[in-house]
Amino acid sequence: MKLFNFTVTNCKNCNKCVRECPVKAIRFINNKAEIDDEKCIACGRCFVACPMHARNVENDVFNVEKAIEEGKNVVACVDSAYLGAFEEPDKFVGALKKMGFSSVQEAAAGSEKITREYIKYLNENIGKQKYFISSTCPAIYLFVEKYHPQLIQYLIPVDMPVMAIAKAVKEEDKDAIVVYVGQCLSKKNEIKPDDNTYLNYHITFDEVLKMLVKKGIDMKTTEGTTPDRAARISGVSYSIAGDMWKNIKTFSAEHGYDIMRVDGMNSIKQLFSSMEKGTLSKCYVGVSACAESCINGPFMPKDAPDLFCRRQKIRNFAQHGWADKGKEFDWDKIDVSRSFVEQSANRKLATSEEIEEILRKMGKKTRADEFDCGACGYESCREKAQGVFEGMADIEMCWPRLREKAKRKGDTIFENARNIILMLDKDLNVMQINPVAERSFGIKDGEIAGSSVSFLNIATDTFEEAMNNKKDILNKKMNLEEYGITVMCNTVYIEGDELFVSMQDITAEERRKKELAELKHHSVEIAQNVIEKQMRVAQEIASLMGETTAETKVALNRLKDVMLKEESE
């Protein structure tokens, strides 16, 4: 099961996650981003970068809530970045306890034990090896194991403070449920349910805040309290870039080792490259995947103070720490050693011939075509070609190529359109006309480009209205008498104050309409004449029928009189 990935439906194929990924572990399938688990180092930078928040992380909230409801010993192991993330850290601790956590312990409380183990290791190996790499960041472990296995020998084989705390809690109560609470994504990779892990669950600061809302707990009105176990002064600020355990710095410097703190994957890649080449002098290096270290982790609360305020808050707090440090563990029983093993990212490198072939398919036929713009997420066209070879990238993930392709299609449509097309700038100067417009107006594009559209003796009121109101004006009939044509004009406003004008020649249609109107008028006249003639005929017939009827009546009356007279005689 994937611990984290992207929500495919939200992915808009912007490639921003690829640009941020230090190891290019994001594959595009059907133009949607997907994390390749074998290559991923769980640094979380892609999640921070995604503008659509298309991130999907395996959620442990339900399991934590269930464990609390069942009355289990649920211990919150809080990352020390909380001291900068919340305005009142003591109230955050109080809210966790009110929510049902049986104990709240700072991850940094394990730093004293880790420091002692580091010094022990340094004592045993100082002078035997050129470099010492110290980190409390699982993303760094994965980066070395997958991409720089030759540097595994320099990783100090000691647990992170948070893991030391988890082991100590389990030593006290093997059935305890240890929950990491913090801003770090990579620590989720330390939770392996099938391996009898010491860390059981992982919840972020944001998830805690949502849990509080669900429980009806207002952190602002919650009574503040101190953690049950807190870091000593030396371990409070290890989450800040540039800070390091003082006694280790002193010890390393005494033995002639340079001391460096390096944060951010871009810098770390350069550092490791120098180590592999052996060009770097002997040194002790503390490294963190996140720029500015843990206080800039991917899951800091949305309303947290800004980065430098967080740094300032923690440094100020480190001057005194908590008054009550809480109970100390019996560290003698706790084994905090760990090992690192090579786990290759299975990268297959393309040959130069294969790279050249992919570049040609990308439209990069010469070195001048390789813009190396980085829009696809890769630093160079050749790095992108390698991504295509590995099945991580698509050839179409190239904005200059897509733009050129769209331009060619646009040019084809523009050149072959049946309508008159004009492109006007904000001053209604002609930027471009198509061949149909050239024929219709009897002028070449080069002769009119840069001149006012009024040069064509076209009424400009429609164009002015569209530009001034920044709106489209559609289906406007215009009679271009000088050119003997009538057009149906569509004026489309384009962001950036340009107008796209399309004129459909409807001269023949208008002529047919006129002819049809004349035909109708003529037909009406004929019909009227016929009706008038029929009325006259009807009147004449009626008149004749009236005369014959009267004559018939007179004749019949006479006949009647004669017959009556004969009967009387």
Residue 374 Cα distances to 136, 147, 377, 379, angstroms = 31, 22, 5, 5
Supply the pLDDT for residue 71: 95
What DSSP state is assigned to residue 85?
H
CA-based diameter of the chain, in Å? 175
* Exposed e or buried b per residue across 431-459, where buried means at least 16 C-beta atoms within 10 angstroms of its C-beta: eebbebbbebbebeeeebeeeebeebebe
Residue 65 token pair: 């809530």
* Cβ-Cβ contacts under 8 Å for 226 (sequence gap 6 or more): 90, 93, 322, 323, 324, 326
In terms of DSSP bridges, do strands 55-57 and 4-6 run parallel, antiparallel, or are they unpaired? antiparallel
Supply the pLDDT for residue 568: 62
Residue 155 bridge partners (DSSP)? 133
Q: Which of 252, 243, 229, 241 is nearest to 318 (CA)?
A: 243
d(CA 235, CA 245): 7
Residue 425 token pair: 């700038």
- pLDDT tens across the length of the chain (569 residues): 456 677 777 787 788 888 899 999 998 877 778 888 889 999 988 888 888 777 777 789 999 999 999 999 999 999 989 999 999 999 999 999 999 999 999 998 888 888 889 989 999 998 899 999 998 899 999 999 999 999 999 999 999 999 999 999 999 999 999 999 999 989 988 887 666 679 999 999 999 999 999 999 999 999 999 999 888 755 556 666 555 667 787 888 888 889 898 999 999 999 999 999 999 999 999 999 998 888 899 889 888 999 999 988 888 887 777 877 777 788 888 999 999 999 887 778 899 999 999 999 888 888 888 888 888 889 899 999 999 999 898 888 787 777 666 666 667 778 888 899 999 999 999 988 999 999 999 988 888 888 899 889 888 999 999 999 999 999 999 999 889 899 999 999 998 899 999 999 999 888 888 888 888 888 778 878 888 888 888 787 877 777 777 777 777 777 777 777 666 65
d(CA 255, CA 43): 33
Supply the pLDDT for residue 326: 73
Supply the pLDDT for residue 413: 74
d(CA 221, CA 247): 40
Q: By the 8 A CB rule, do 299 and 85 touch?
A: no
Q: By the 8 A CB rule, do 299 and 121 touch?
A: no
Reported as half-sphere exposure (CB side, CA atoms, 13 A), residue 445 has a value of 14
Angle at 166 between CA 165 and CA 167, to 5 degrees: 90
Q: Which of 401, 415, 337 is nearest to 373 (CA)?
A: 401
* Cβ-Cβ contacts under 8 Å for 129 (sequence gap 6 or more): 153, 154
Q: By the 8 A CB rule, do 244 and 286 touch?
A: yes
Counting every residue written for the chain, the total comes to 569
d(CA 106, CA 381): 46
Other residues' Cβ atoms within 10 Å of the Cβ of residue 16: 16
Supply the pLDDT for residue 411: 73
What DSSP state is assigned to residue 9?
G
Supply the pLDDT for residue 1: 41
Q: By the 8 A CB rule, do 127 and 120 touch?
A: no
Residue 75 bridge partners (DSSP)? 103, 178
d(CA 325, CA 315): 17
Q: By the 8 A CB rule, do 134 and 118 touch?
A: yes
* Cβ-Cβ contacts under 8 Å for 32 (sequence gap 6 or more): 6, 8, 11, 13
